[in-house]
A and B are shown apart, each in its own frame.
Chain A
Amino acid sequence: MTTSTKNAATPVAPSDAAARQGTRIRLENVTKDYGLAIPAVSNISLTIEPGEFMTLLGPSGSGKTTTLNLIAGFETLTTGSISFNGTDVGTLPPHKRNLGMLFQNYALFPHLTVVQNVAYPLRERRMPKAEIARKVAEVLQLVQLTGRDDNYPSQLSGGQQQRVALARAIVFNPNALLLDEPLGALDRNLRGALQMEIRRIHREVGSTFVFVTHDQEEAMNLSDRIALFNNGHIEQVGSPEELYRAPETLFTARFLGDSNVFELGAADLGTSVSWEGRTWAVAEGTVSSHPSVLSGSAIVVRPEDISIAADLKSVPAGANAVQARIRDLEYMGSYRTAMLAFGEKGLTGRARIDALDATHAIGDDVVAWWRPQRQRIVAA
């Protein structure tokens, strides 16, 4: 919104988005220690590129929210540094960091109307009244909330309140937008709709977005990259596809999507590995580069990569196979999930099979197989 467009229907022109490339946020060896048993955030380094949609994903207590608060300036660093476009902001108070923020409970000012809420950051920046009015109208159009200018937050639905909060957080053209589980309080349908909204606004605004969530589906849908947090450190950073297809650790594999896990222990990872006496081929480029992979590893196979055959003879050459018993079949509409018990010890697993495939029944002894290229050996 640095350059104004006369046409109100398209409040943000493409050239506008280009003018506002966003900020590079760099965290170097950041630690936040409250003096508890383990630091809330321990020695993490992460670079968020300009205009990137970065999601900090992880279970509760993993340090993702603390990291966001460190970026926002609500928490002080124990050690390490944070910089925006190369400028150190470690000691800057929150109100000088020029960051928009979206909260789970919206945090709208209840005593101000929609327009007054959105105008708040502009008034703090002592912008002329006419310009404030113009920008507020523009941004409300961008978030598709019009005709509610003089309503108070309590008169709006949850989705509408979150739109007001979003408008308020981007109207002043912040360095970046920080989103702290902003969709957590909304019901499922509305959440999906607002996810699309956030993605659209990210495209149109072109600013750096840092999104915190514990919902892996949300993270996969929205992000350019995901930083997966675990126990105060970053487990893995990468695109949703990288994290799903090429996890480095068992934690990552288990956190994103379903997986079948065959634990190998401290195995010799050559061209083949063995699990309970079976020898399986290892394809090139499917072994994690994580340093602890040699001291303990596991094979991860996604359910959609496992096929079921009646016997060993029908398994294609070169595939890895294991005996399994079908414990249960769940009809999911577009596919069927076969709950499996692998090997002699009956390791629990699952395969996704064709919804129309009715050749197998519960209790059948079958062979589960997959291509070595589709398996991943991760650090356990």
Chain B
Amino acid sequence: MTTVLTEIEDETVDAVVPRRPRRRDRGVDPIPWWLIVVGVIVALYFILPTLFVIPMSFSSASTFQFPPKDFSLKLYENFFTNPVWLGSLGNSVLVATLASLLATIVGTAAALGLHQLTGKLAGFVRTLLMVSIVTPSIVIAVAVYISFLQWHLVGSLGGYVLAHAAIGVPFVLVSVTSALGGFDPKLLRASASLGATPLRTFLRVTMPLISRGILTGAIFAFVTSFDEVVIALFLRSPTFQTLPVQMYNSVTVEIDPTIAASSSLVVVAVTIIFLVPQLIGARKRSR
């Protein structure tokens, strides 16, 4: 009996090791040259303005200058020595961290709950949670401002966190929902049959398997909060404002070219943040 088994097993072992299909394997037509040209133009249109600020940030002039005449780190020195800039950066990081944390917990819980539901109710709740993504920021900002005035949340850390968490939830919901699409619900039953409580099952099975979706959602929620300006403008107070609000002030009130340095920093920071899950994913795959 044993020999029979080994023979059969040996034949099948190698055949089933899964390989990620390469793009080329799909047999699609080659991409026409004009499509590549259009793609590059669109990409440049999106990226170039952002890249303009980086050379500008190394200018020594006290007004906006492009192209910069000389190279200096003066604007960066301004940024890192001015307590107003540094303070607002700290506020932004704090608000974005707390807001994305809250949004991740709520969004993940919502995605898990809605995953189990079917029918009209689930669809309705899902749409409701997604509303903030399609609502104009100014509408949300005014609504938040009016209600937070009554609750004395305007200008407070809690107010910023709550408002920004609300606009971050849809991103978490979407990314976790798509991660759950590839999740086998039988694993939950297997885990339960092996003696794990629902909470333990979530921690040891569900969460590790949807961690990329959670992380992606958290990053989107963080970045959304980090560069959110409309709601932040309404909620600002003399004692508490975020970096985007300070940047807005620096242009409209002070005409301070330090904004070039801060913009560059934000671009670099956000780029790094978005690269994190890509790098983690690449490492996991190569394992």
Report the nearest A residue to B183, measured CB to CB: A110
Question: Number of B residues whose C-beta is below 8 Å from A?
Answer: 30
A107 and B184 contacting across the interface, CB-CB below 8 Å:
yes
B13 and A98 contacting across the interface, CB-CB below 8 Å:
no
Interface stretch, picked from B4-12, B143-151, B163-171, is: B4-12
Chain B residues within 8 Å of A197, by CB: 5
A159 and B189 contacting across the interface, CB-CB below 8 Å:
no
B12 and A124 contacting across the interface, CB-CB below 8 Å:
no
Q: Is the interface of B mostly helix, strand, loop or mixed?
A: helix
Taking the complex as formed, is B49 at the interface, i.e. its CB lies under 8 A from any CB of chain A? no
B12 and A157 contacting across the interface, CB-CB below 8 Å:
yes
A157 and B9 contacting across the interface, CB-CB below 8 Å:
yes
Given contacts A93-B192, A101-B193, A124-B196, contact A110 B8 (CB under 8 A): no
Chain B residues within 8 Å of A72, by CB: 189, 193
Chain A residues within 8 Å of B1, by CB: 193, 196, 200
B145-200 contacts to A (CB < 8 Å): 184, 186-187, 189-198, 200
A100 and B5 contacting across the interface, CB-CB below 8 Å:
no
- Report the bound CA distance from A125 to B18 in whole Å: 33
Taking the complex as formed, is A111 at the interface, i.e. its CB lies under 8 A from any CB of chain B? yes
Taking the complex as formed, is B270 at the interface, i.e. its CB lies under 8 A from any CB of chain A? no
Given contacts A107-B190, A154-B18, A160-B13, contact A125 B195 (CB under 8 A): yes
Taking the complex as formed, is A251 at the interface, i.e. its CB lies under 8 A from any CB of chain B? no
Chain B residues within 8 Å of A98, by CB: 195
Shortest beta-carbon distance from A285 to chain B in Å: 38
- Report the bound CA distance from A200 to B209 in whole Å: 34
- Report the bound CA distance from A105 to B5 in whole Å: 20
B4 and A124 contacting across the interface, CB-CB below 8 Å:
no
Shortest beta-carbon distance from B193 to chain A in Å: 4
- Report the bound CA distance from A95 to B205 in whole Å: 14
Scan A55-85; emit 1 where CB is below 8 A from any B CB, else 0: 0000000000000000011100000000000
- Report the bound CA distance from A144 to B196 in whole Å: 26
- Report the bound CA distance from A74 to B9 in whole Å: 33
Report the nearest B residue to A73, measured CB to CB: B192
Chain B residues within 8 Å of A178, by CB: 193
- Report the bound CA distance from A73 to B193 in whole Å: 9
Shortest beta-carbon distance from B279 to chain A in Å: 18
Taking the complex as formed, is A103 at the interface, i.e. its CB lies under 8 A from any CB of chain B? yes
Taking the complex as formed, is A168 at the interface, i.e. its CB lies under 8 A from any CB of chain B? yes
Shortest beta-carbon distance from A275 to chain B in Å: 47
Chain A residues within 8 Å of B196, by CB: 95, 120, 124
A95 and B5 contacting across the interface, CB-CB below 8 Å:
no
B8 and A121 contacting across the interface, CB-CB below 8 Å:
no
B194 and A124 contacting across the interface, CB-CB below 8 Å:
yes
A190 and B12 contacting across the interface, CB-CB below 8 Å:
yes
A140-171 contacts to B (CB < 8 Å): 144, 154-160, 168-169
Chain A CB within 10 Å, residue with most, of B195, B197, B198, B200: B195
Taking the complex as formed, is A189 at the interface, i.e. its CB lies under 8 A from any CB of chain B? yes
Chain B CB within 10 Å, residue with most, of A74, A108, A110, A200: A110
Taking the complex as formed, is A53 at the interface, i.e. its CB lies under 8 A from any CB of chain B? no
Chain B residues within 8 Å of A280, by CB: none
Shortest beta-carbon distance from B25 to chain A in Å: 19
Shortest beta-carbon distance from B192 to chain A in Å: 4
Chain B residues within 8 Å of A97, by CB: 193
A159 and B8 contacting across the interface, CB-CB below 8 Å:
yes
B16 and A94 contacting across the interface, CB-CB below 8 Å:
no
- Report the bound CA distance from A100 to B195 in whole Å: 9
Chain B residues within 8 Å of A155, by CB: 17
B1-52 contacts to A (CB < 8 Å): 1-2, 4-5, 8-9, 12-13, 15-18
Taking the complex as formed, is B83 at the interface, i.e. its CB lies under 8 A from any CB of chain A? no
Residues on A lying within 8 angstroms of B by beta carbon are: 72-74, 93-101, 103, 105, 107-111, 120-121, 124-125, 144, 154-160, 168-169, 172, 178, 189-190, 193, 196-197, 200
Residues on B lying within 8 angstroms of A by beta carbon are: 1-2, 4-5, 8-9, 12-13, 15-18, 184, 186-187, 189-198, 200, 204-205, 208-209
18 more CB-based (< 8 A) A-B contacts, given A95-B195, A144-B2: A73-B192, A93-B192, A95-B197, A97-B193, A98-B195, A101-B193, A107-B187, A110-B209, A111-B209, A120-B194, A121-B195, A124-B194, A157-B12, A159-B12, A160-B13, A169-B193, A193-B4, A193-B5
